[in-house]
């Protein structure tokens, strides 16, 4: 259904792709203002919903600053509106019948005559609702409503002749046939008929304030009166008759010429000047690598000069200001970002701050800003550290005398080439946040005491910032074990002090499980139960289960593969392989093999050992309180959780590692000692947190999972052994 503009005489409709029709607002006050502005008070009896659904006002009646897909809140139509007096006279004249009227339109090439036969005119109310079926009457409304010169001529002629017939209307159209704004009856007028071209601008003669209605906006360049001058130019017959009767009417009025294009040009120039001023201030204060006196003047092409090159970086001052605003109130920052031209949230989260082997004031200030917005429970965290192997290469830093690749710690560089890097990361315990902090490059045989002092300084700085560091987590690397021995870490004392604050020492539970699998591949585990029965756990039983499952359609342990049973060097580093081996499924499968006489009763030791490892590692990797497995819920001193810890603590002192040649090598295996230290440290941490009001502990947040993920991303980008750069 085609919808026309509600303004009298406006040719715009929903079929015009260049026009945009705005519905009447739902606000009663704004809707009333629109009705008064377009002089359609006859629609006041309709409801606001009907006005909003059925009536529109096109975009040519709004100012340039108001024309958006969504109008401004104070937008009111005030342009290209018809005179009320013209429409009143036109309504009276169109009540007569138009019969056999011929409209002659002249062009440069030919003259076409169009004859239109119409029915009698409808009532005044139907015409006010813009439902005129006669195309000749519609053309007359369009022509007279949007051509003030023709409308004025029509008004002067009506003052001399009291009554107009259909023939007089036809003669009036013939007199105005040369007017370029008159369109063909068979087509809709376009915007060119409303806004004249620059080469053919009709001058609008404005009468004195007594004649112009109040709803017509008058634009004036100066309020002072100009000296009276007589207007030169051609006049129509009706104008000559009026001027002969009233010779001083034109000379007494304040004549002024200003078309729509001139008005829009002046407004555009004012808007450009305002943008230029704001842009200069923005460039002078916040943009980097710009001098105060070298800002170019925007004169020739303002639109091109105002464009910002894509990828232009923000200065550090503006970045940290925006970062402060973002962490203060993210919602307010999103509201201010577009108005102040601030960086996006994605840009802020990708800010890279250059770090060295020592915490710089810039990094410390960023940490203070982040910590100041955290809740009290979110400040509890751990410090993770792990070694990453490096390529032994030396890289010269451009525009600097410094080289990368040497042994360097705490901004003190040595002469030997670094072979590994120690990366430090902190993560929350009761909230999911992580932050890589710092790294140092270490040679092959580095000084352990020097690294411990460097770590103590980092932990002390984090405590000064406001974080509550309760644990230090690492793995069973030989260098990390030597660092633990230097701190006198043992099962009876699984902690050390930093600034008189107790920090617990934890070995990653997942890496411990992986190391136990690697030891079990070539060794037996012999242990004594509480009742004094000696049991043996062997990898042979798990391998026998896998071989038996190959002959079955429905397997007891369907996840087991060759990589689980006979892993290569790469498979031995995969933690999920060991997690799937030490599971209840494998324990149940071994029991079935014993019942089917595929294994002897001696294999019950393997069943008990695998089941105990499954439970202990579920507790040390708990995270979800809604898990089906009760051992995977957060640690909260439940009876079954404490029973598992007690069984393992009683088992570890009596656990022996026997080779296939029946040699005892228990003292050379540090993994069992690390497991005991970790269990006792977790129990002490949970006890300390319980005294502070925290009833549970997600033990997965005490592991190196986030740091391992960080290493994986680095290896995907730079290879298994990245360089120091």
Answer for the pair 418, 392: CB distance below 8 angstroms, yes or no: yes
Q: What is the mean pLDDT of residues 334-354?
A: 78
Answer for the pair 613, 652: CB distance below 8 angstroms, yes or no: no
Which strand (E) or helix (H) includes residue 331? Answer: helix 330-340
Q: In whole angstroms, how far apart are CA 109 and each of 112, 113, 269?
A: 10, 14, 40
Q: Is the pLDDT confidence value at 352 over 50? A: yes
Which ranges of 341-496 does DSSP label H, i.e. alpha helix? Answer: 345-349, 361-371, 448-465, 478-486
Q: Tell me which DSSP letter residue 140 carries.
A: H
Report the C-alpha gap between 264 and 627 in whole angstroms: 67
Q: What is the mean pLDDT of residues 335-355?
A: 77
Which ranges of 214-259 does DSSP label H, i.e. alpha helix? Answer: 237-245, 249-252
Q: Is the pLDDT confidence value at 123 over 80? A: no
The per-residue b/e assignment along 477-497, b for 16 or more CB within 10 angstroms, e otherwise, is: eebbbebbeebebebeebbbe
Which strand (E) or helix (H) includes residue 426? Answer: strand 420-428
Nearest to 494, CA basis, from 232, 250, 676, 243: 676
The full 3-state SS of 542-586, as one line of letters, equals HHHHHHHHCCCCCCCCCCCCHHHHCCCCCHHHCHHHHHHHCCHHH
Question: Percent of the chain scored above 90 by pLDDT?
Answer: 33
Chain centroid, CA 221 distance in Å: 46
Structure tokens at 180: 């370029």
Q: What is the mean pLDDT of residues 529-543?
A: 89
Report the C-alpha gap between 637 and 657 in whole angstroms: 31
Report the C-alpha gap between 84 and 155 in whole angstroms: 12
Structure tokens at 559: 């996840």
Task: Compute the 3-state secondary structure of the chain and give helix, strand, coil in percent, each to the nearest 5.
Answer: 45, 15, 40
Question: Percent of the chain scored above 70 by pLDDT?
Answer: 69
Q: Is the pLDDT confidence value at 434 over 50? A: yes
Report the C-alpha gap between 439 and 294 in whole angstroms: 41
Report the C-alpha gap between 147 and 255 in whole angstroms: 18
Q: What is the mean pLDDT of residues 372-388?
A: 92
Range with lowest mean pLDDT among 97-101, 400-404, 512-516, 660-664: 97-101
Structure tokens at 543: 């391998």
Task: Summarize pLDDT for 240-267 with one digit per residue, the tens.
Answer: 443 444 444 444 444 445 577 788 788 8
Structure tokens at 129: 């609702």
Q: Look up the pTM and report it.
A: 0.56
Q: In whole angstroms, how far apart are CA 482 and each of 444, 451, 491, 509?
A: 14, 11, 15, 18
Query: Token match 């910002």: residue?
Result: 308
Report the C-alpha gap between 657 and 519 in whole angstroms: 9
Residue 605 has a CB neighbour count (10 Å cut-off) of 21
Whole-number average pLDDT of the chain: 75
The pLDDT value recorded for residue 231 is 47
Pairing of strands 495-498, 56-58: unpaired
Nearest to 282, CA basis, from 268, 273, 292: 292
Structure tokens at 489: 């870490």
Report the C-alpha gap between 89 and 328 in whole angstroms: 64
499: left (phi over 0), alpha (psi -120 to 50) or beta: left
The per-residue b/e assignment along 252-285, b for 16 or more CB within 10 angstroms, e otherwise, is: ebebeeebbeeeeeeeeeeeeeeebeebeeebee
402 or 606: whose pLDDT is higher? 606
Range with lowest mean pLDDT among 161-165, 226-230, 535-539: 161-165
- Compute and round to an integer the Cα radius of gyration of the chain: 44
Structure tokens at 533: 């029965």
User: Is residue 382 classed as helix, strand or coil in its secondary structure?
Assistant: strand
The pLDDT value recorded for residue 49 is 86
Chain centroid, CA 360 distance in Å: 30
Q: What is the mean pLDDT of residues 476-486?
A: 93
Q: Tell me which DSSP letter residue 599 carries.
A: S
Where residue 689 falls among pLDDT bands split at 50, 70, 90?
Answer: very high
Q: Cβ-count burial of 120 within 10 angstroms (0-12 exposed, 13-18 middle, 19+ buried)? A: exposed
Which strand (E) or helix (H) includes residue 379? Answer: none
Range with lowest mean pLDDT among 63-77, 83-97, 573-587: 83-97
Range with lowest mean pLDDT among 71-75, 386-390, 603-607: 71-75
Query: Token match 């006792």: residue?
Result: 680
Report the C-alpha gap between 589 and 556 in whole angstroms: 5
Where residue 312 falls among pLDDT bands split at 50, 70, 90?
Answer: low
């Amino acid at each position: 259904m085609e919808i026309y503009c509600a303004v009298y005489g406006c040719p715009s409709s929903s079929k015009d792709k260049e026009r945009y029709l705005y519905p009447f607002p739902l606000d009663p006050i704004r809707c009333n203002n629109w009705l008064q502005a377009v002089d359609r008070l006859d629609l006041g009896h309709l409801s606001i919903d009907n006005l909003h659904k059925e009536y529109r006002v096109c975009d040519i009646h709004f100012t340039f600053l108001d024309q958006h897909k969504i109008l401004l809140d104070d937008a009111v139509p005030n342009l290209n509106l018809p005179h009320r007096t013209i429409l009143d006279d036109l309504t009276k004249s169109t009540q007569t019948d138009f019969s056999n009227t011929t409209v002659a339109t002249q062009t440069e090439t030919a003259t076409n005559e169009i004859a239109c036969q119409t029915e009698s005119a409808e009532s005044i109310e139907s015409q006010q609702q813009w439902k005129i079926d006669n195309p000749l009457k519609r053309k007359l409304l369009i022509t007279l409503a949007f051509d003030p010169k023709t409308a004025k001529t029509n008004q002067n002629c009506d003052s001399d002749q009291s009554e107009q017939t259909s023939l007089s209307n036809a003669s009036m159209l013939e007199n105005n046939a040369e007017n370029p704004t008159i369109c063909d009856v068979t087509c809709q007028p376009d915007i060119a008929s409303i806004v004249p071209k620059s080469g053919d601008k009709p001058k609008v003669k404005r009468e004195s304030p007594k004649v112009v209605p109040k709803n017509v906006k008058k634009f004036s360049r100066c309020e002072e009166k100009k000296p009276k001058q007589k207007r030169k130019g051609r006049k129509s017959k009706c104008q000559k008759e009026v001027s002969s009767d009233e010779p001083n009417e034109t000379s007494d009025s304040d004549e002024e010429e200003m078309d729509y294009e001139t008005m829009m040009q002046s407004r555009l120039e004012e808007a450009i000047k305002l943008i230029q001023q704001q842009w200069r201030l923005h460039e002078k204060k916040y943009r980097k690598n710009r001098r105060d006196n070298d800002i170019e003047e925007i004169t020739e092409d303002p639109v091109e000069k105002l464009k910002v090159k894509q990828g232009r970086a923000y200065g550090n001052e503006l970045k940290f200001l925006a970062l402060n605003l973002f962490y203060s109130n993210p919602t307010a920052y999103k509201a201010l970002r577009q108005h102040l031209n601030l960086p996006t949230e994605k840009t802020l989260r990708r800010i890279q701050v250059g770090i060295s082997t020592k915490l710089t004031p810039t990094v410390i200030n960023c940490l203070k800003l982040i910590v100041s917005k955290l809740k009290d429970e979110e400040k509890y965290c751990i410090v993770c550290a792990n070694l990453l192997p490096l390529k032994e290469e030396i890289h010269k830093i451009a525009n600097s005398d410094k080289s990368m690749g040497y042994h360097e710690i705490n901004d003190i560089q040595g002469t030997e080439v670094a072979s590994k890097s120690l990366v430090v990361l902190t993560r929350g315990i009761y909230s999911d946040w992580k932050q890589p902090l710092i790294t140092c490059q270490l040679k092959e045989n580095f000084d352990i005491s020097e690294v411990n002092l460097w770590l103590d300084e980092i932990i002390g700085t984090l405590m000064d910032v406001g974080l509550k560091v309760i644990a230090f987590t690492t793995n069973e690397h030989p260098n990390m074990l030597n660092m633990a021995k230097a701190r006198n870490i043992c099962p009876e004392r699984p902690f050390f002090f930093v600034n008189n604050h107790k920090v617990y020492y934890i070995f990653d539970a997942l890496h411990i499980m992986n190391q136990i699998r690697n030891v079990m591949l070539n060794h037996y585990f012999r242990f004594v139960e509480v009742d004094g029965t000696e049991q043996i756990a062997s990898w042979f039983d798990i391998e026998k289960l896998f071989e038996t499952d190959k002959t079955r359609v429905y397997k007891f342990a369907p996840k087991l593969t060759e990589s689980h049973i006979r892993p290569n060097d790469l498979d031995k580093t995969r933690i999920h392989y060991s997690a799937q081996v030490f599971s209840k499924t494998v324990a149940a499968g071994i029991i079935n093999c014993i019942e089917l006489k595929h294994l002897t009763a001696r294999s019950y030791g393997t069943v008990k050992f695998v089941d105990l490892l499954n439970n202990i590692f579920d507790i040390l990797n708990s995270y979800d309180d809604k898990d089906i497995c009760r051992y995977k819920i957060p640690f909260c001193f439940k009876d079954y959780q404490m029973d598992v810890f007690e069984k393992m603590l009683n088992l570890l002192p009596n656990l022996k590692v026997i080779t296939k040649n029946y040699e005892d090598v228990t003292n050379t295996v540090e993994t069992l000692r690390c497991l005991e230290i970790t269990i006792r440290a977790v129990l002490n941490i949970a006890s300390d947190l319980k005294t502070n009001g925290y009833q549970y502990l997600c033990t997965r947040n005490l592991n190196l999972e986030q740091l391992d993920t960080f290493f994986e991303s680095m290896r995907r980008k730079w290879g298994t052994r990245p360089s120091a750069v």
